[in-house]
Amino acid sequence: MKYQIIVIGTSLGGLEALQVILLGLPKTFPVPIAVVQHRHKDCDDTLRVLLQSYTNSVVKEAEDKEEILPGWVYLAPADYHLLIESKDKTVSQPYFSLSIDAPVTYARPSIDVLFETAADACNQKVIGVLLTGANQDGVQGLAKIKARGGMTIVEEPESAFCSIMPAAAIAFGVADQVLPLVDIASFLVKICN
């Protein structure tokens, strides 16, 4: 299967988890990645700069109506929900949109919003990855990805900095794969190449 996008959600301890994954992906990794990392609404460009230092792929904050390019890593901007849409008939590929709708599961950006819109736009051609975190954001989104035939991956709670989010996804039965953090990148390479 040719996947259109990988969506990653993380919260507490996420920077370190994202570092492990990005360092494990080859320079030529073909599938775009969209990331929601819970962070304060007034955060600056520091997250992007740090993540860029871990990869040769382009890392940038997503912009409204931006085309999704192969191999790029996109971040949800602070205090915006990141959505993936495919309703515009003038474009052949899904694209990003941004929203300032109310927080979901106490978060904006919300992992659930990204995951659910990715499932709507890409159906079975999306991979959802839920990493370390201290709430249940992302669980409903993974359920939707799974229901649409996409692949769902959850970090093994024992390897997570904070196990609450991955444990909730496993308890809810929405994980196709439960993997230690150090094995997620190699699994993504295997299923995307």
- Which residue type is seen at 97? S
Burial class (CB in 10 A: 0-12, 13-18, 19+), 193: exposed
| 85 φ/ψ sector (left φ>0, alpha ψ -120 to 50, else beta) | beta
| 66 φ/ψ sector (left φ>0, alpha ψ -120 to 50, else beta) | beta
Dig out the tokens for 12 from the structure.
Answer: 């507490």
Chain length of the chain: 193
Name the residues annotated as catalytic: 11, 38, 137
